[in-house]
Structure 1
Amino acid sequence: MVPTSEPRRRGAQSKADTAYAHIKEQIERGAFEPYQRVLAAPIAAELGVSGVPVREAIQRLAAEGLLQIVHNVGARVAVIDDHAYRAGMEALAVLDGTATSLAAGQLGAADIERAEEINGSILSMLDDFDPALFEELNAEFHEVLYSACPNERILELARSEWKKFSSIRGPGAAVDLDRARESAEEHGELLELIRGSAPGAQIEQSARRHVLKSLEARTGHRSRLL
């Protein structure tokens, strides 16, 4: 029997996935500075793999906007400019507000309980504040609320924007403790609206305002959408 290359392809893909997850986690955790070069060789050595799956992972992350490929430089951590960051966050606010309001009537008791549990985790970690962990929990909280959106296209766009802005470096500072505490309070208010079957427009406004207040806290920019 002639051996096939399928096992090798599966193995290579698995290594690429491992490299992808590793590099992405380092970006999200702030281990790589803005504009810092991301070199395949040291990452490959750290993971005990060849450079091929690492380069594949770098290309995937570049396609997602987390890395930039620069001629004669290579891959580096992507940072979007002030205007693009503001515009993107405003788009996220609109999409998240719409998706959350449409999803509200579809959420069950278990979904709301899960969102409350995540927000409880945010409140619990404020005494030993970890900005990266906050970003992770915050994105997870919103995912629970909007994931039941019945409009598949709006859901796809909202999820894509959340994924991008949970990881990409913008011009503003990282979220601070005061904003994290305020965000957790706003989460609670949003859950109260959903639990009380508030009108969709009210839920949408609350969710949109929540994202825009984070934009203002990070950049000092007060959106006209507030």
Structure 2
Amino acid sequence: MSTSQVSESAPRGTTKAARKSATRTEELRLTLADEIVQGRLHPGTPLEEVEIAKRFGVSRTPVREAIRELAASGLVEARPHRSALVALPSLERLRGMFDVMAELEAICAGLAAVQMSSTERQGLQGLHESLADLVRRGDPQRYHEVNERFHGAIYTGSHNEYLAEITFATRARLSPFRRAQFRTLGRLALSHAEHERVVTAILRGDKAAAEAAMRGHITLVEDAYERYTGTR
């Protein structure tokens, strides 16, 4: 159960425990995703829940949830009553996922340009400025975290609930691959420069320019990931 799903009437201890569990699951998911994307866990490697739990000093519950989330990204092949296997999606499938992501985010950006309130525009600009500071500090992990909020603000700013829902879901599946590309030399600065074009178009209310800038940004994210993994 995620933190957002915990009832306000639940005992404080229950809420705190749920939050801690969700955080631990996310840490496990990111660590395992990195090891898979970087090739330290090879395709076909079984993911033994007991061994992983022992390695990280946790119960099997967050391990099981992390593996479930990795399966949704195509990094893991779930098998009924057997250990899951490391299973990277094919390059063709991954490119297809990025193509869909680019179109979904382009639509979100275009709608955000004409639908965002002044408060939402200010919030987006604030996130963009925070990312600039993280570029200067050279902090890819924190950049990834704030970058998620930046893109999420644009999805929400489209004011189309269904569009935001499917875009968030698609992004979640691509998250390990998008996160990996930030390790490419100079990628943080380039990412921020691409964001600048998106933000400028949105703040101007230029729907077509916002769509084009975002579509171009996601295409370059895909290119950066493929360079990072040596598939391009």
TM-score in terms of structure 2 length: 0.71
Match of 1:215 among 222, 226, 230: 222
User: Rg: which structure is higher?
Assistant: 1
Matches of residues 29-44 of structure 1 in structure 2 within 5 Å?
A: 30=34, 33-34=38-39, 36=41, 37=45, 38-44=47-53
Is it true that 1:146 corresponds to 2:151 in the alignment?
A: no
Quick one: which amino acid aligns to residue 186 of structure 1?
Answer: E
Q: Which residue in the other structure is 1:120 paired with?
A: 129
Of 208-217 and 125-134, the range deviating more from structure 2: 125-134
Quick one: which amino acid aligns to residue 193 of structure 1?
Answer: A
Quick one: which amino acid aligns to residue 152 of structure 1?
Answer: E
Structure 2 distance, partners of 1:175, 1:194, is 28
The Cα offsets for residues 49-83 of structure 1, whole Å up to 9 and x where unpaired, read as 54356335533542453432369983344422211
Q: Residues 127, 151 of structure 1: CA spacing in aligned structure 2 closer, same or farther, 3 A cutoff?
A: closer
Extract unaligned runs of 5+ from structure 2. 1-10, 228-232
Structure 1 distance, partners of 2:181, 2:22, is 30
Is it true that 1:27 corresponds to 2:36 in the alignment?
A: no
Q: Which residue in the other structure is 2:168 paired with?
A: 159
Extract unaligned runs of 5+ from structure 1. 1-6, 221-226
CA drift at 1:91? 0.9
Is it true that 1:191 corresponds to 2:187 in the alignment?
A: no
Structure 1 distance, partners of 2:194, 2:73, is 29
- Identical-pair percentage: 25
- Equivalenced residue count is 208
Q: Which residue in the other structure is 2:93 paired with?
A: 84
Is it true that 1:201 corresponds to 2:208 in the alignment?
A: yes
RMSD between superposed Cα atoms in Å: 3.4
Is it true that 1:182 corresponds to 2:187 in the alignment?
A: no
Quick one: which amino acid aligns to residue 95 of structure 1?
Answer: L
Q: Secondary structure at the match of 1:97?
A: helix
The Cα offsets for residues 103-142 of structure 1, whole Å up to 9 and x where unpaired, read as 2222223322322232223222234424333333222211
The question of whether the paired residues in 2 share the 8 Å contact of 1:100 and 1:145 is answered with yes
